[in-house]
Structure formats: structure tokens, C-alpha cells
Amino acid sequence: MTTSALTKVSEQLCFGGKQIRFTHQSAVTNCEMQFSVFLPPQAQTGKVPALYWLSGLTCTDENFSGKAGAQRVAAELGIALIIPDTSPRGDGVPDDPDGAYDFGLGAGFYVNATREPFVKHYQMYDYIVSELPALVEAELPVSAVRAISGHSMGGHGALVIGLRNPERYRSISAFSPIGNPAKSPWGIKAFSGYLGDDQSQWVHYDASVLLAKTEKELPILVDQGLADNFYPQQLRTEALIAAAEQSGAKAQIRLQDGYDHSYYFIASFIEQHLRFHAKYLAN
């Protein structure tokens, strides 16, 4: 892999580190992908561990970069932030037939689609698990010591990807995750569209199902606001809590009074999530 695999779109100094936006041609999603990276000052002198952040419906890599205020603590702790887009994009990439916000562009749900016409491009699970880390670790001063987090649809993605690949991540966290998508309106629409009606295929992408049977002691931190418009119907946090109790997983799931689904909630608690991950990334 040569350095030409990544095209730098922009680079901006932030808290003494570098906030960079890249594009690259993906062999997995068969289109050009964009992502953002924050490299802390410590990356100037050696490889640093990374937190992968998966964003929610309608987002790109720019929402977390611009709104979460994560760079301050990441710069202090020496953690890179890797912030992918939420779907494949481009003229050849099929969208929701009605242009809805919760399927298609901006709504890849971090699955490998098996249905036409989505199968060609919507391979976000493999992209996040394999292709993007390989690219980042080959091209940037970022080590293979990883944690994963995300918000809403991205919280679902972080939990599913972390739980299915415990050897690849040190810790998992999530804000307002879609915790049991096989039984929520958003998840049912997405899984039907990308995976088809065979619900035996859906369980591989349902955090509550995976958490209920996990045998690994991967540390998990989840924050859910109680003034969130999508709680409980879409997010089904209680299913996630029940699943953690069933398996005895090392999951701390916190209900935060008064907070909503927005980045004001994420900004308020991202420092705690970063310090949580830093404990495991440092070892």
C-alpha cells in the first residue's frame, strides 16, 4: 500500500494536534469514501492508539469532528480519533427509494448488505472492521490498539462490531445506541432492506442478542439520556440492560436524567468515555 491510497482534503490544527479529512477509493464499498482523523500531538513522535467513532443517521464524518469537543481530551491522552462516514456515497450508490433519512445514504447501519441493489456498495461492516483500520494503520502514525464508540445508529455499530470482534478492540462505548435493532422501527426497516426478511440473519447485527451470549470480558460503557425523543421505542436500552444481566457482561449502562439525543449530550460526557477507553488502550 502506497501513500497515494489516501487523498488529503483538508488539515487543520486543533489543540496542538491535526484534524485531517481524507478520501480514498474503497475496494469493499466500491466507491470513494471520506473519513476524518484527529492525530494528537503525541503522533508526531510515534504511533498512538485509536478510538474509532461511528456516527448516527444523517451524519457524515464532520458531525463528531466539529461538535463533540473530543479533541481536547484526545490531545491530552494521546489517542487518535478515526471518524468514518455513515454510508457509501456517490452517483452510483443507491439511496432509499423515497429519499428517507433512515435508510440508504447516511444510513448504512454498519452491516454487509446481501440484497440488491445494495449489496455492491453497502458493505459498511467489513469497511469498518477491516479495510479502514488496515488503511489507517498502514498510512498514518496509528497503532493497531483500538477502541470503538459511536452514537445512535453508530452506537449500534460500535456495540455490534466490538462484541463480534473482541480480539480487535480493547473497549467499547456508546451514546444512545439502537440497542436492539431487530425489534425497533429503524432497525426493522434497515435490516429488511439490506438483509431481507430472514430474521436469522438479523441477529448477527443486534447488540442485545450478541451481548446476551457474549463470553468475553470486553469493557463496555453506555450512556443514554432520559429526555431523548427516541427513547425507549427506537433505542430499546432496557433490552440491552437485560442482555448484559443475562450474560454477566462487564457493561456499565447509565441512564442520564434530562439529556436528549443531540451532540450537546455527547459533548457533556465524551470526556468520561475517552478516559474510560484510555485505561484499556494504555496497557
All three cell numbers of 204: 448477527
Give the nearer residue to a second copy in terms of CB position, either 238 or 271.
Answer: 271
Q: Please report how close the Cβ of residue 274 comes to a second copy at its closest, in angstroms.
A: 13
Q: Please report how close the Cβ of residue 71 comes to a second copy at its closest, in angstroms.
A: 7
Annotated active-site residue 171? The verdict is no
Q: Please report how close the Cβ of residue 227 comes to a second copy at its closest, in angstroms.
A: 7
Catalytic residue (one of 121, 151, 261, 277): 261
177/57 Cα distance (integer angstroms): 11
Q: Can you give the binding site for a second copy, defined by CB under 8 A?
A: 12-16, 19, 66-67, 69, 71-72, 225, 227, 258-260, 262-265, 267-268, 271
Annotated active-site residue 151? The verdict is no
Give the nearer residue to a second copy in terms of CB position, either 16 or 117.
Answer: 16
How many other C-beta atoms are found inside a 10 Å radius of the C-beta of residue 23? 14
Give the nearer residue to a second copy in terms of CB position, either 12 or 199.
Answer: 12
All three cell numbers of 64: 463528531
Give the nearer residue to a second copy in terms of CB position, either 98 or 257.
Answer: 257
Do residues 143 and 137 touch, judged by C-beta distance below 8 A?
A: yes
Which residues are registered as beta bridge partners of 20? 11, 37
Do residues 184 and 208 touch, judged by C-beta distance below 8 A?
A: no
Annotated active-site residue 208? The verdict is no
Q: Please report how close the Cβ of residue 6 comes to a second copy at its closest, in angstroms.
A: 20
Catalytic residue (one of 61, 102, 223, 228): 228
74/20 Cα distance (integer angstroms): 14
Catalytic residue (one of 152, 171, 184, 208): 152
All three cell numbers of 235: 433505542
How many other C-beta atoms are found inside a 10 Å radius of the C-beta of residue 276? 20
153/179 Cα distance (integer angstroms): 9
Catalytic residue IDs: 152, 228, 261
